[in-house]
Amino acid sequence: MDHFQYANGELCAEAVPIRQIADDIGTPFYCYSTATLERHYQVFADAVSGLDATICYAVKANGNIGVIATLARLGAGADVVSVGEMKRALTGGVPASKIVFSGVGKTADEMAAALKAGVLQINVESEQELETLSQVAASLGAEAAIAIRANPDVDALTHEKIATGKSENKFGVDWDAVPGLYAQARDLAGIRVAGIAVHIGSQILDLEPFRQAYGLIAGLVETLRADGHDIERVDLGGGLGIPYEHETPPTPEEYGAMVQSIVGDLGCRIFFEPGRLIAGNAGILVTRVINIKKGVARNFAIVDAAMNDLMRPTLYNAHHAIWPVTEPPVGAEEMEIEVVGPICETGDTFGKPRLLPELEAGDLVCVRTAGAYGAVMASTYNARPLVPEVMVNDKAYAVVRDRITVDDMLAREQLPDWLQG
């Protein structure tokens, strides 16, 4: 469920007409619904309420500080994979004591920044990373609470570019090497073993991969405890999928019941890292039709948003529903048309030919389910400025990231001395 629906013939974000925002700030822009963010968080929180659970929102899904602050006020922590994301989480009101620092390529400087900030936990991804963290922590006179991320070699049955739990993926420590690395961690200065972590991928539409991975982790907890390690935390990552088209992912309630049945008796604090599940359906990308181009083989609606604003269709062949902002009348005639942007790439498309009502230049359309991995992945390709982000709360809206101008972009560049004059 989301809060982008038609009212009186116009698409609204909660109680704010999308057309009003477009008239005020121009297009394209992202729009996020507070009510949808809150609902999705609460549904997930309710689903895992039977556990000693901490929900650490995955900032990589949508790092806008307005989004983070909305979730922080509900009690969310944060899962971060860079110092930039950590600073965003702190700025959004997430206490350092509820931040988990993940990521496969942490630098020594990032480790130091995380320790100085006092983050709850650092998820370790390799032997070399563990050794570096020990050196950094010892040099600061600090203690790093860690969980080692185990790679269970489980196929998440998702897109190959967002699968992270197979042995050929770059993430985590090979399963057979995990006990030995915990033994090594016990003897390192500045390291305190606190738990174990796993994350097998994103947009997962079947509970079975989770069930396999979590079952393996539960067994590993018992093995590590038998080896004398105090495993008090289990980080299960995120990855539960959402519907973009006709998918029917498991509900949070079904997921929560499965987790309870597998790890509920371990006596551990359980961490979850949902991102897409919370933010995906809470955002749309609004764009305006520049012109309609009718060709011999295909018709095109050329809009003012582009692949630099929303990469998912190009990067993953991802499907996003496209709705006109003006509600079409019942029985309105439809045309087959491809919605594309103005970038000089054939891959600059938001949807292969779709059946849409007759569109004209100037019409507004929205690309739905764009709240996750939309604005955070945007670029300035073709010297196109980043677009604004807007948050709606009932009848009010606010711009939470300004539109960047070309002059702003140029102001960050300068000629070398030999090209001056």
Q: Active-site residues: which are they?
A: 344
**Cα→Cα distances 378→373, 385, 387, 407, Å:** 9, 10, 9, 18
Q: Establish how many alpha carbons lie within 13 A of residue 173's alpha carbon, considering only the half-sphere containing its beta carbon.
A: 22
**Calpha distance 184→152 (Å, rounded):** 20
Is the C-alpha dihedral spanning 248, 13, 325, 297 positive or negative? negative
| φ, ψ for residue 335, nearest 5 deg | -130, 150
| Cβ-Cβ contacts under 8 Å for 75 (sequence gap 6 or more) | 45, 55
Instruction: Please state the three-class secondary structure of 274-314 as a single string.
Output: CCHHHHHHHEEEEEEEEEEEECCCCEEEEECCCCCCCCHHH
The beta strand positions in 214-298, using DSSP E, are 233-235, 269-272, 283-294
On whether the CB atoms of residues 31 and 25 are closer than 8 A, the answer is no
